[in-house]
Every structure is written in C-alpha cells, then in structure tokens.
C-alpha cells in the first residue's frame, strides 16, 4: 500500500473507480516488470499498443463509432495518473502519442478521414504522432516555416519538424504547415502517411524519456493528397490551440502522479534504510523533507481537480491551465530532487523510479509549452 494515495474527487463515479483499477492492474502486470529494461533498450514492444487498446485506454474520449469510448475529462486524467506510476515518462509519451496526434482528426476531420484513421489508431494497429515543433522554434506556432503549396489535387510539402514523439515508429502524422500568409491565419493541418515519397526521419538521443522514440522529420517535395487536409485551409491554428489546452491538463495530471511516485518510493526507502542503527526516516530532517513533498503534491492535486472540474463543465480558464501546468512541473521537479537527495548514492544509480523521473523533469517543463511561455500567456490572460 502506498503511503500517499491520490484522494479522488467526490464526483468520481463507480465507473471512474473501475477504470482506475483496470489501469492499475495493467500497469502492474504489463509494464512494471519490464519498464526498466525497456528504458535501457530505448524502446518497447509494439504489441503494447494492442494491449492498451484492449483495456480501453487508447479509445478514451473518442467516438464509439470509431472504436472509442465516450468519456468525460476525468478518464483521460485518470489514465495519465495511473500510467505515471511506472515512473517512465518516455514509455507513457510514446504509447499515448495518439492523445495529441489524433484529437485534431476527431475535432476537425471529415467523416472519411475519421473512418480511415481513427479505428486503426484506437485499436493499436496504427501509431499516431503530432508534428508541430520546428528547428527554428517550438512554442511560436504562428511563425512555423514548413510550407504546403497547393498543386492540383495535392499539397507539396517542404520543411522539417523536430522533437517529435513517436517520430520514428508512427504510421500517420498530424502535421502543422503553412498554406497561406504569415502568422496564425496561414496555418493548416495535414495528415501525412509515413510511406509518402520525400518524407524521411532521423532518431534523436535524449537526456530522459529513453523508451520514447523521438525524431526529426524531413519533408522534401512531399506530395500529400488534398483530401488529407484537416478542417478548413488556413484555419489550423485554433485546432492546435485547443489541442494544447487538453495536452497541458494531461501533462499536469501526469506530473503530479510522477511526484507522488517519487514520494512513495523514497518514503519506503527511508523507512527501511538503516543509518547509525536507526531507520533513515527517524531523522527529523528526512521527515520534514517528506512532509514538504506531500504538501506540494496535495496542493497541486487540489488545483488540478479544481481546473479539470471547470473544463469538464464547459469553461476554458486558460490562465489557470498555464499556471497549473507550471505548478505541476515545479512540484515534480521538487519531489524528484528531494527524492534523489534522500536516497543519496542509491538515488543516483540507474534503476530506482526517482532516478528516471529526475532525468525527465525538464522535458515536462518544456513540452506542451515551456514554463516561460506559460507565464507570459497567463499574464496576458490575467491582463497584467
């Protein structure tokens, strides 16, 4: 039994609890025994997508007619929380890369596009990735450089994307391109299949998220059928922003759970580690560190529950979503740092979850919108 368990909101239903329990069994049996080896190997079996689909994880929030499960926002957040218990963010990011790659298909795609791609993505047959960030910039989406020029019944795509999760193994990519004038008014979204001529990929090595394949994508006169345009031409920017808000909530839920995972591993270590004849946990300074960790986790969890409730009920508190995302990554960073410090040399060795999580702190503070961008966006929303 974990010392610090997530206190569920009062509005969770029996179905929410059943879904959480199913995911917990999945993580305990299909991921925990193997995740350390997968992280060291910098990959994981493709079969895991099918297993995740079989328990309903991949289909959460997608229409039933395409193999999904209509669900409120809490199911997605439960998924992020439970998956983070394995302590390997790279595996979670790649296994669930469809949660950022496929929503634009659901949200603005036409019926033919949904029928072609969503059933295979949600069944684990196809892997979906989102490609927005470019070598010239990440958060400044309105100024992306990759172009898509209309040529008859095709778009000719030229440019590159980088830091793309599932960039090597994905089968279909939701790609942000410039089809019009400079600025946000000229951005569109295209679906590009992996075998498109002129499309190439190279893998990237990372500080953390080892089990996640990350890549730079290259488009050299790629001819993409015009029927692969998602939504209205030059109207891709709003769809991207809608995607970001959902991603930031999902990231916040994962970060709180990673922080809680740090606490539980380190608290158990401190209770069993003997120092000068007594458990390490009997040292006042260690107990205080653990209390500070628990305090930060519980406060951030309360903020997450509040904001997710507002979003579930139709609001879009953008400033709060930005501040929550930063609060969650700062909590994760604090708990990972203190966790490694409490474990000492053992925390610096490969193997403990806290060591993996420590390596993955910065990617969470950058991905989905860097801390500095989040503060700037929040300040504008707050009118300051």
d(CA 106, CA 337): 39
| Joined tokens for residue 46 | 């493709």
Please report where in the chains the tokens 């929550």 appear, as a residue: 324
Is 40 one of the annotated active-site residues of the chain? no
Kind and range of the H or E element at 165?
strand 154-165
**Cα dihedral 257/24/170/174 (nearest 10):** -60
CA distances to 63, 91, 294, 344, 380 from 332, in Å: 33, 17, 11, 18, 26
Which of 36, 81, 82, 247 is the catalytic position? 247
Cβ neighbours, 10 Å, residue 363: 22
DSSP 258-317: HHHHHHHHHHHHHHH-EETTEEGGGSHHHHHHHHHHHHHHHHHHHHHHHHHHHHHTT---
Kind and range of the H or E element at 190?
strand 187-193
∠ CA 141-143-194, nearest 5°, is: 60
Q: Cβ distance 266 to 289 under 8 Å?
A: no
Q: Looking at the chain, list the stretches that DSSP marks H as alpha helix, in order from N- to C-terminal side.
A: 14-26, 35-41, 47-54, 73-83, 89-95, 98-101, 103-108, 111-122, 236-272, 284-312, 318-343, 345-348, 353-359, 361-366, 371-382
Phi, psi of 76 (to 5 degrees): -65, -40
- Phi-psi category of residue 24: left, alpha or beta, with phi > 0 → left and psi -120 to 50 → alpha: alpha
Give the residue numbers marked as catalytic.
Answer: 247
């Amino acid at each position: 039994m974990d010392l610090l368990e997530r206190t569920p909101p009062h509005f969770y239903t029996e179905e929410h609890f059943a879904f959480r329990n199913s995911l917990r069994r999945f993580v305990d049996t299909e991921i925990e025994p193997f995740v350390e080896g997968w992280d060291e190997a910098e990959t994981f079996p493709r079969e895991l997508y099918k297993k995740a689909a079989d328990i309903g994880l991949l289909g959460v929030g997608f229409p039933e007619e395409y193999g999904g499960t209509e669900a409120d926002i809490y199911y997605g957040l439960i998924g992020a929380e439970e998956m983070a218990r394995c302590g390997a963010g790279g595996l979670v990011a790649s296994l669930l890369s469809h949660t950022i790659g496929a929503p634009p298909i659901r949200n603005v795609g036409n019926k033919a596009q949904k029928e072609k791609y969503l059933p295979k993505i949600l069944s684990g047959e196809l892997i979906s990735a989102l490609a927005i960030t470019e070598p010239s910039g990440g958060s400044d989406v309105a100024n992306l450089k990759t172009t898509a020029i209309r040529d008859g019944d095709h778009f000719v795509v030229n440019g590159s994307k980088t830091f793309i999760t599932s960039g090597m193994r994905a089968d279909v990519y939701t790609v942000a391109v410039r089809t019009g004038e400079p600025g946000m008014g000229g951005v569109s979204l295209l679906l590009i299949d992996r075998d498109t001529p002129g499309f190439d990929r190279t893998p990237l090595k990372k500080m953390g998220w080892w089990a996640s394949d990350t890549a730079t994508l290259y488009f050299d006169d790629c001819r993409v059928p015009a029927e692969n345009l998602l939504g209205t031409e030059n109207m891709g920017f709003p769809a991207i922003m809608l995607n970001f808000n959902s991603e930031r909530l999902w990231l916040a839920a994962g970060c709180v759970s990673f922080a809680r995972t740090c606490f539980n591993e380190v608290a158990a270590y401190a209770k069993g580690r003997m120092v000068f004849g007594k458990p390490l946990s009997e040292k006042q300074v260690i107990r205080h560190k653990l209390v500070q960790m628990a305090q930060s986790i519980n406060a951030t969890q309360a903020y997450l529950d509040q904001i997710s409730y507002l979003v579930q009920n139709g609001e879009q508190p953008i400033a709060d979503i930005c501040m929550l995302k930063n609060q969650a990554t700062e909590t994760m960073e604090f708990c990972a740092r203190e966790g490694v410090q409490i474990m000492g040399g053992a925390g610096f060795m490969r193997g403990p979850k806290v060591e993996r999580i420590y390596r993955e702190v910065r990617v969470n503070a950058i991905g989905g919108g860097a801390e500095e961008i989040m503060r700037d966006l929040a300040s504008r929303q707050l009118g300051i």
